[in-house]
Amino acid sequence: MIKERSSVVITGGASGIGKALAFRFGKEGNDIIIGDVEEAALDIAISELRSEGILATGIVVDVSDLDSVRSFRDQIFSEFSPPYILCLNAGVGAGGSISESDVLDWEWVLGVNLWGVIYGLNTFLPFMEDNNSGHIIITSSIAGHLSYPNMGVYNASKHAVLSIAETLCYELQEKSSEVGVSVLCPGLVKTNILDSERNRPEILTSNDTLDEPDDWLEHTKFQKQELLSFCDFLIDEGHYERALLSLFQYLYKFPSDSLEVPILYHIARSYDLSGNPILANRYYDEVINLTNKNDRVFKARAENNPATLDKAPASFSRSNEIICFIIKQVLFRSTSAFRDALCQMRSLGKHFQSDR
């Protein structure tokens, strides 16, 4: 709870976590200043905040551009008084392996996620230290603690800002400064980060981006991989209900994935380990049924087009065996064997998706 009225500055505040912060701080009686690169969304967010009686101002800013951030700061300092709460929240997401990531992918993601934080600190922190007041909130991610595969660019950006936040916290404590630092490390949250490409500058877009008709499907890989990795972490830590909530939130947003074997398997495993065998068996049965169906579809395609066999992984014909083996290991709690089978399950998941 904030003890005095503050000016709350939020980058990336037109949607998602930033917008939620705006409403939370605004309802506590603070002045809200939202900075966002997307002007239309910014106008809508400001309108919604004002309809709730919140004093809100929107300013277009590109956090990856130092001049833009300085202009943003100057307008805020001329119109609003300290103390300031600075939420460096703007972020974008991109999936893909490190070997497949283009240099432009790195420049875009690090430009927003990392340099956006650096520029924000560079422009606001000296003033806050001089006034010896305020608080800085930096949005990192659970990906700042873990290293999910196929999210290397995003992981690197979130590890970096987490380290910046922790280092800054220690440095301010050594100075006995009244400026505070917090870092947010959320897991999967229903935001627009999956659709970050809508705001990607053309100059940072490779020529072959979205050249193929099905390339739009690549946008789902980032969030799906984050979901499954995050749920693995939750389940391993015993947070079964949180894992289920994350899985069902994802399916609410992407209902077409309700027939994805890896998604259903994680639901079954969560129910099983949480002590709900009835629901667990229901989802395990669905996993087996879908696996059988995928095998039949693949075999039918192979009969019509023998070349399909050349594209199939050697392990695909063993999918039923592996699925059943996984279920048995879950039921009998053979941890080492289960983990070996799970690795095979993860690799198979990609092929289930591509052959549906």
- CATH architecture of the domain 7-195 equals 3-Layer(aba) Sandwich (3.40)
Active site residues: 154
Tens-digit pLDDT profile for residues 124-139: 999 999 999 999 999 9
Measured CA to CA, the distance from residue 37 to residue 49 in angstroms comes to 18
Domain limits, the chain: 7-195, 210-354
The encoded tokens of residue 349 equal 């998941």
Tens-digit pLDDT profile for residues 310-348: 444 443 344 444 445 444 444 444 444 444 555 555 454
> What pLDDT score does 163 carry?
97
Instruction: Tell me the β-bridge partners of 10.
Output: 34, 87
Q: Are strands 56-60 and 31-36 parallel, antiparallel or unpaired?
A: parallel
Measured CA to CA, the distance from residue 64 to residue 48 in angstroms comes to 26
The encoded tokens of residue 83 equal 């103390």
126's enclosing H/E stretch is: helix 115-131
Measured CA to CA, the distance from residue 228 to residue 142 in angstroms comes to 13
Tens-digit pLDDT profile for residues 46-56: 999 999 999 99
Query: What percent of the chain stands above pLDDT 90?
Result: 38
How many C-beta atoms surround the C-beta of residue 158 within 10 A?
25
DSSP 186-227: --S--SSGGGGGGG--GGGS-TTTT-STTGGGHHHHHHHHHH
Higher pLDDT, 140 or 330: 140
Higher pLDDT, 181 or 226: 181
Q: Are strands 84-88 and 31-36 parallel, antiparallel or unpaired?
A: unpaired
Measured CA to CA, the distance from residue 168 to residue 177 in angstroms comes to 11
Measured CA to CA, the distance from residue 28 to residue 1 in angstroms comes to 8
Measured CA to CA, the distance from residue 268 to residue 272 in angstroms comes to 6
| The domain over range 210-354 is classified in CATH as 1.25.40 | yes
The encoded tokens of residue 128 equal 């806050």
Measured CA to CA, the distance from residue 318 to residue 345 in angstroms comes to 11
Measured CA to CA, the distance from residue 65 to residue 342 in angstroms comes to 43
CA atoms within 13 A on the CB side of 27: 7
> What pLDDT score does 309 carry?
41
Task: Evaluate whether 7-195 and 210-354 have a shared fold.
Answer: no
- Whether the per-residue pLDDT at 287 is higher than 90: the answer is no
- 175 contact partners, CB below 8 Å, separation of at least 6: 129
Instruction: Tell me the β-bridge partners of 84.
Output: 7
> What pLDDT score does 350 carry?
40
Measured CA to CA, the distance from residue 355 to residue 51 in angstroms comes to 48
